[in-house]
């Protein structure tokens, strides 16, 4: 499976500028790879991680962001994973949407809003896991702060070989980002794909290059860099089955006990 990670340097709350940036990255990927299966963008792709939910939110059924990415998926014949803010009652949801040439494959609403930054005041928490199948890979969907809650990843790993996390994870906590992506990969024996933005947001927070993929063995994969923002990777999905057979950790999980003590 071939995946491109795009560490987009997002323009703050400027959808038009970010669309242009996305188009440039997709053109670059198409120039270097004709058979990429999936391209992944950071959290709230066209706005950055903003609390101005009322200003940027869109109706799911008429979303300009979803429409734009569907058009790009058709144009480039590739599946795309991206972040978008969608209306939900008086609030909104922070979502990871995956589209293909055929349309929307899945919409995941972030289960754990980042209360430390007040995200829960503006965004309603999701309550449902979402998966997509692309090629031979079943892929679980998560967003940023979700990464600190391992129960989600154990649930996904029952039938997922790849789990995505799209983020706006600031530089000052990047050591946690690296550690948690690796931990989720090792403990669940999956490919963990972490996609983070770069640059500086409208609140002055700095984001540094840190998008990466960790294998089921806990190895950080080496990709092919096309630019500061874009890196291509190739995953051998057989490694998931192989490692789970060699080292069957899941056979020793005590789910009934875990439910009792939690």
110 in catalytic set: yes
State how far the Cα of 243 lies from the Cα of 223, in Å rounded to an integer: 21
Neighbours of 68 (CB within 10 A): 21
Per-residue b/e over 207-223, b at no fewer than 16 CB within 10 Å? beebbbbbbbeeeebeb
Tokens of 104: 């929307």
The catalytic residue among 21, 144, 160, 182 is 144
The catalytic residue among 19, 110, 130, 182 is 110
Tokens 């990415």: give the residue: 69
Q: Could you tell me if 126 and 119 are in contact, meaning their C-beta atoms sit under 8 angstroms apart?
A: no
Among candidate residues 82, 87, 73, the one with its CA nearest the CA of residue 37: 73
The catalytic residue among 19, 21, 43, 58 is 43
For the chain, the straight-line distance linking the first and the last C-alpha, in angstroms and rounded, comes to: 37
Q: Could you tell me if 163 and 178 are in contact, meaning their C-beta atoms sit under 8 angstroms apart?
A: no
Taking each helix axis from N to C terminus, what angle separates 15-32 and 64-76, rounded to the nearest 10 degrees?
A: 20
Q: Mind telling me the catalytic residues?
A: 43, 110, 144
């Amino acid at each position: 499976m071939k995946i491109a990670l795009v560490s987009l340097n997002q323009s703050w709350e400027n959808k038009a500028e970010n669309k242009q940036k996305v188009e440039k990255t997709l053109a670059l990927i198409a120039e270097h790879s004709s058979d990429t299966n999936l391209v992944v963008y950071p959290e709230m792709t066209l706005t950055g991680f903003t609390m101005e939910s009322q200003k940027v939110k869109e109706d799911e059924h008429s979303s300009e962001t979803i429409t734009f990415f569907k058009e790009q998926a058709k144009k480039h014949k590739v599946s795309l994973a991206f972040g978008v803010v969608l209306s939900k009652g008086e609030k909104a949801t922070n979502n990871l949407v995956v589209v293909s040439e055929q349309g929307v494959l899945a919409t995941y609403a972030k289960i754990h809003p980042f209360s430390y930054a007040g995200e829960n005041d503006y965004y309603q928490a999701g309550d449902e896991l979402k998966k997509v199948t692309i090629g031979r890979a079943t892929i679980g969907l998560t967003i940023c702060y979700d990464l600190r809650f391992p129960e989600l990843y154990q649930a996904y790993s029952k039938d997922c070989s790849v789990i995505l996390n799209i983020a706006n994870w600031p530089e000052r906590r990047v050591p946690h980002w690296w550690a948690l992506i690796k931990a989720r990969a090792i403990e669940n024996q999956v490919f963990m794909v972490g996609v983070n933005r770069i640059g500086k947001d409208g609140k002055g927070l700095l984001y540094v290059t840190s998008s990466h993929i960790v294998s089921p063995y806990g190895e950080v994969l080496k990709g092919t860099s096309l630019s500061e923002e874009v890196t291509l990777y190739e995953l051998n999905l057989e490694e998931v089955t192989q490692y789970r057979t060699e080292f069957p950790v899941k056979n020793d999980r005590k789910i009934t006990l875990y439910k009792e003590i939690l």
